[in-house]
Structure formats: structure tokens, C-alpha cells
């Protein structure tokens, strides 16, 4: 099949064309559809759909994201699957809103200039990119950009730290990121070792659907390490939009050397008196003020904050997100009022 497939999403009735060598999700996002997705690496299952008409090539997926039984029943992961028939009709498993009901944020690929790339802790690097002058790049708070790293088949997503401006574009045309170096991480190792101010780097996006839960309740952010980025983006966006209720953020890092972004958090707290942020150190027994000591799960179990009515944002490594989500529920957080974003592993070729 050389021609593009005509793809229809039955949930909304929207259609788009998908070339045979492009994933169903990517073509749909490029067409402006709001197809549910998260990792884009065949590992989380967020983009799962039932193939109601036509056929697909499943590509590389993790068995815990979609089982062989599910594939036999006609399900696929749209982030990995490519069309193999002229027509494909899909029914997404997760809810989705039609294109017209949400602001238009369409991913693209472009070359960004590195404005800064420097280590801010022993393991975390801050990267600032400039969007090309004259290019209109819009994103939603909580989204990520994928960095194309030499030698890796799949690019690696990193969350944008800022909230978009009122017009949906980056403030002063710049986007910043925090990149944790992982022991066996090809992508993070390459970025730490090679990225320099003045370089050009190929990026794709924005992607991701981490967003504020519905409602107007207090905001409670719980971040593990550089999981801070998407939580901070969403909280800053809510504050800029006029949210005046309590907005509390807790960030977990190993020790004082790993504290980062404290300047940005302090600036936000000064601009918005209803916002406050605390760092908790998990590997230091004796901790002076203003730092806290212990894991976030232990602090929630000890202090038992009343999270009924709160909107809870959790981001970090998968084990952190799972444990903190459970702890938040024991503090009366409603599951529907919890939004999570975790660093899910991707295709082994992709690295971290």
C-alpha cells in the first residue's frame, strides 16, 4: 500500500490521512486531532484503540501496554501502529475531545538553538532552547518536547518547565527543560556530555496530555526530581490564569546537592502569595530548615493533609507516581481529581 490510508476516529467522527510509514497517532496529532497519548513509546497504553475496520502493523510494543490477547481481539497502540490497509477506523479506549473543542496545538519538527546547557546539580542539567524566530510554536502547560539524539531510533521526551503565554506560545520565544542523567541512559548521557550553548538540536512536539483535573479546588503538586517540570508548568499556568486558592508544591530529591529550580519556585511564591513550595530530602537524616526530610509518601502518611476537594498533580518515575498516588488517596484525594505524569521507559533503542 503506497498511498496514505484514510483513518477515521469513531469517537469523534474525525478523519485524516496517514502515510504507510507513519504511526497512526503521529499523523492524527499532525492533523490537529486530540488523540489521547502519553509516552509515545509503546509502553503506557494511553493511546490504545480498537481497530474496527482495516488492518495495522503493530510495530514494537511492551506486553504490559498491550497483550497478545488484546491484539488478537483487534486492539492496537496507535503510537506504534502503522496502517496496512487503505481505510482504517479506530475507536479510542480513552475519552477524547473533538478538535474544535480545544485550542489548536499541533506538533511539528524543527531545529532549535541551545541558549544554555549547564549542570545545576550533580545529575541534573538545565537546557534552554530558542524557538526559531518567525515560527509560531504553541503548547499547553504540562506538555513535553522530544529531543532527537544521534544514534537513537526514538527521540526522548523532556517536559517544558514554563507555562505558555496568554497566546499559547513560549514566553520570549524560549523553552527550558531539566534533564536528569540516568546511569544507563543513552539520551540523557549524550545530552549531558555533548550539548553546548550555541548548538542546534532537532526537536519534535509538543506532545503529552498532562493537565489540571477539572474543578476549582486547591492545587497540590507532588514531584519526584525532574518530575517538577510539568507540575510547575501547570501550577504556574493556573496562577497566571487567576487561580487564587491554595497552591502547594512538594518536591522530593535525594539530598541538598540535588536541589534545583529553587530560584524559579521562590520567584513564583513572591509573585503569588497563595503559592508555596517545599523540598524534601530523602537521603539526609539531619536536615535544617527550610528543607523537609523523608519521602513524600512518609510525609503524607505522617501529616495526613486533607486532600478531599483538592486537585493533585503527581509526576516522576513510575514507582514514585504509583506510591504517591496511593498515598494521596489515603489522604482522601478523589481518584478523578488526581492527574499523573510518569517517565515511562520506551523502545529499548530509545534510551532515556
Burial class (CB in 10 A: 0-12, 13-18, 19+), 113: middle
Pairing label, strands 174-180, 124-130: antiparallel
- CA distance linking residue 222 with residue 271, whole number of Å: 21
What are the strands, taking DSSP E only, across 23-151?
Answer: 48-53, 56-57, 75-77, 82-83, 87-92, 108-119, 124-130, 144-147
- Residue closer to ligand FES, measured from CB, 33 or 39: 39
Rounded to the nearest 5 percent, the helix, strand and coil shares of the chain are: 25, 30, 50
How near is the Cβ of 232 to ligand FES at its closest, in Å? Answer: 23
- Residue closer to ligand FES, measured from CB, 28 or 224: 28
How near is the Cβ of 141 to ligand FES at its closest, in Å? Answer: 19
User: In sequence order, what are the residues at sequence separation of 6 or more whose Cβ sits closer than 8 angstroms to the Cβ of residue 23?
Assistant: 59, 78, 79, 80, 81, 82
Distance of CA 286 to the CA centre of its chain: 33
How near is the Cβ of 344 to ligand FES at its closest, in Å? Answer: 7
How near is the Cβ of 222 to ligand FES at its closest, in Å? Answer: 22
How near is the Cβ of 66 to ligand FES at its closest, in Å? Answer: 8
Bridge partners, residue 338, by sequence: 312
How near is the Cβ of 80 to ligand FES at its closest, in Å? Answer: 7
Q: CB atoms < 10 A from the CB of 330, how many?
A: 12
- Residue closer to ligand FES, measured from CB, 39 or 312: 39
- CA distance linking residue 82 with residue 91, whole number of Å: 15
Confirm if 219 and 245 have CB atoms less than 8 A apart. yes
- Residue closer to ligand FES, measured from CB, 42 or 316: 42
User: In sequence order, what are the residues at sequence separation of 6 or more whose Cβ sits closer than 8 angstroms to the Cβ of residue 114?
Assistant: 127, 128, 129, 195, 196, 197, 198, 199, 200, 201
Q: CB atoms < 10 A from the CB of 189, how many?
A: 16
Q: Which chain residues interact with ligand FES by CB under 6 A?
A: 37-40, 42-47, 65, 77, 79
Sheet holding 14-18, edge to edge: 14-18, 5-9, 87-92, 48-53, 75-77
How near is the Cβ of 39 to ligand FES at its closest, in Å? Answer: 4
- Residue closer to ligand FES, measured from CB, 106 or 269: 106
- Residue closer to ligand FES, measured from CB, 93 or 264: 93
How near is the Cβ of 115 to ligand FES at its closest, in Å? Answer: 30
- Residue closer to ligand FES, measured from CB, 42 or 351: 42
- Residue closer to ligand FES, measured from CB, 39 or 51: 39
How near is the Cβ of 42 to ligand FES at its closest, in Å? Answer: 5
231-241 in b/e form (b: 16+ CB < 10 A) is: bbbbbbbbbbe
- Residue closer to ligand FES, measured from CB, 60 or 272: 60
**DSSP assignment, residue 196?**
-
Amino acid at each position: 500500500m503506497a498511498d496514505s490510508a484514510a483513518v477515521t476516529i469513531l469517537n469523534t467522527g474525525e478523519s485524516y490521512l496517514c502515510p504507510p510509514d507513519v504511526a497512526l497517532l503521529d499523523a492524527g496529532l499532525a492533523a490537529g486531532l486530540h488523540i489521547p497519548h502519553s509516552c509515545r513509546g509503546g509502553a503506557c497504553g494511553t493511546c490504545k484503540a480498537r481497530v474496527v475496520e482495516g488492518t495495522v502493523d503493530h510495530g514494537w510494543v511492551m506486553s504490559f501496554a498491550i497483550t497478545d490477547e488484546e491484539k488478537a481481539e483487534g486492539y492496537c497502540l496507535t503510537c506504534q501502529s502503522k496502517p496496512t490497509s487503505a481505510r482504517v477506523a479506530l475507536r479510542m479506549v480513552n475519552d477524547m475531545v473533538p478538535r474544535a473543542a480545544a485550542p489548536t496545538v499541533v506538533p511539528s519538527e524543527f531545529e532549535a538553538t541551545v541558549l544554555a546547557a549547564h549542570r545545576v546539580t550533580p545529575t541534573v542539567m538545565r537546557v534552554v532552547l530558542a524557538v526559531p524566530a518567525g515560527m509560531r510554536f504553541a503548547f499547553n502547560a504540562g506538555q513535553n518536547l522530544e529531543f532527537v539524539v544521534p544514534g537513537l531510533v526514538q527521540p526522548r521526551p523532556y517536559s517544558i518547565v514554563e507555562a505558555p503565554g496568554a497566546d499559547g506560545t513560549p514566553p520570549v520565544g524560549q523553552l527550558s527543560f531539566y534533564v536528569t542523567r540516568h546511569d544507563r541512559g543513552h539520551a540523557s548521557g549524550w545530552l549531558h556530555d555533548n550539548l553546548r550553548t550555541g548548538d542546534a538540536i532537532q526537536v519534535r512536539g509538543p506532545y503529552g496530555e498532562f493537565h489540571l483535573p477539572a474543578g476549582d479546588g486547591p492545587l497540590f503538586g507532588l514531584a519526584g526530581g525532574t518530575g517538577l517540570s510539568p507540575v510547575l508548568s501547570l501550577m504556574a499556568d493556573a496562577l497566571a490564569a487567576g487561580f487564587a486558592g491554595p497552591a502547594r508544591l512538594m518536591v522530593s530529591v535525594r539530598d541538598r546537592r540535588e536541589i534545583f529550580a529553587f530560584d524559579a519556585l521562590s520567584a513564583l511564591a513572591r509573585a503569588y502569595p497563595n503559592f508555596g513550595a517545599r523540598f524534601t530530602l530523602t537521603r539526609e537524616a539531619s536536615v535544617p530548615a527550610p528543607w523537609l526530610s523523608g519521602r513524600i509518601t512518609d510525609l503524607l502518611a505522617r501529616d495526613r493533609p486533607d486532600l478531599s476537594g483538592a486537585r493533585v498533580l503527581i509526576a516522576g518515575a513510575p514507582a514514585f507516581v504509583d506510591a504517591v498516588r496511593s498515598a494521596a488517596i489515603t489522604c482522601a484525594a478523589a481518584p478523578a481529581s488526581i492527574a499523573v505524569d510518569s517517565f515511562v521507559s520506551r523502545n529499548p533503542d530509545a534510551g532515556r
